[in-house]
Amino acid sequence: MVIGAGDSGFEESLHLMKFATGVTIVARSDEIKASQILQDKVAEKAPMRVVTNRAVEELLVEDGALAGVRLKDRASGEVETHTPDGVFVFIGLRPNAGFLPEEVVTDARGFVRTDDTFATSMTGLYSAGDVRVGSTKQAVAAAGEGTGAAIAIRRYLQSIGEAYPTDHLGSDD
Ligand SMILES: Cc1cc2nc3c(=O)[nH]c(=O)nc-3n(C[C@H](O)[C@H](O)[C@H](O)COP(=O)(O)OP(=O)(O)OC[C@H]3O[C@@H](n4cnc5c(N)ncnc54)[C@H](O)[C@@H]3O)c2cc1C
């Protein structure tokens, strides 16, 4: 059983199907967040199924091992018990930004706030990609943001007169 119906949950489910006889993906709401291409792949691969609108109530444990999963149907309130061989949890991302000093402003979840030049609240510190507030959490966007940040950093270094070799970055005109 995979808990979480985003890209990570769907990708992991497809991977698990190489070893499992079946995989159930549990979605908390009616909305599946995974990309359509992953949904199509899962739909093609029996026996994989997606159950929607279910909240995990409890993981049942016996003798230190997983014995069952209680899922609550969020529409009817009915609770059902499943007995999968294993549970894999893919719900949400936590930004790996704990090492940053307190001065660096983040949102309540720890994502780093920047302005539109990717500058953080700390002079000389820039942030790009998934860790940034407002990032679209896509690889191509992260790469683009990295480029934007590199250009902004070059401007910053030029502004403070830092003798940093920037010729290889080309022109940003
Ligand atoms: C299952 C899944 C499927 C996806 N599918 C797609 C897709 O189809 N298309 C798409 O565009 N995007 C997809 N994405 C999203 C894409 O992977 C991310 O948007 C992208 O990788 C973000 O790049 P990033 O550089 O911001 O972060 P990351 O790729 O996470 O890179 C961060 C790097 O920082 C390193 N790091 C962390 N902490 C430290 C530290 N303290 N010191 C030094 N280094 C550190 C990490 O080791 C890592 O190498 C998918 C993501 C997942 C999880």
Specify the CATH architecture of the domain 95-168.
3-Layer(bba) Sandwich (3.50)
Residues 6+ apart with CB under 8 A from 168: none
Ligand 1 nearest-atom number relative to CA 37: 8
pLDDT for 46: 80
Ligand 1 nearest-atom number relative to CA 131: 26
Domain with CATH 3.50.50.60 in the chain: 2-89, 95-168
Ligand 1 nearest-atom number relative to CA 11: 1
Quick one: average pLDDT of 59-81?
96
Quick one: average pLDDT of 139-144?
96
Q: Which long-range contacts (CB under 8 A, 24 or more apart) does 70-74 make?
A: 71/26, 74/28, 74/29
Q: What is the DSSP string of 21-33?
A: S-EEEE-SSS---
The response to whether residue 19 sits with its C-beta less than 6 Å from ligand 1 reads no
Ligand 1 nearest-atom number relative to CA 130: 26
Question: 2-89, superfamily in CATH?
Answer: FAD/NAD(P)-binding domain (3.50.50.60)
Q: Which two three-digit tokens encode residue 18?
A: 């190489």
Whole-prediction pTM:
0.75
The response to whether residue 147 sits with its C-beta less than 6 Å from ligand 1 reads no
Q: How far apart are the first and last CA of the chain?
A: 52
Q: pLDDT by residue (tens digit) across 5-40?
A: 999 999 999 999 999 999 999 999 998 999 999 999
Q: Whose CA is nearest to atom 39 of ligand 1?
A: 96
H helix and E strand count, the chain: 3, 7
- Rounded Cα distance between 132 and 121, Å, is 12
Of 75, 29, 74, 35, the C-alpha closest to 52 is 29
- Per-residue pLDDT band for 90 (boundaries 50, 70, 90) equals very high
The response to whether residue 7 sits with its C-beta less than 6 Å from ligand 1 reads yes
The response to whether residue 140 sits with its C-beta less than 6 Å from ligand 1 reads yes
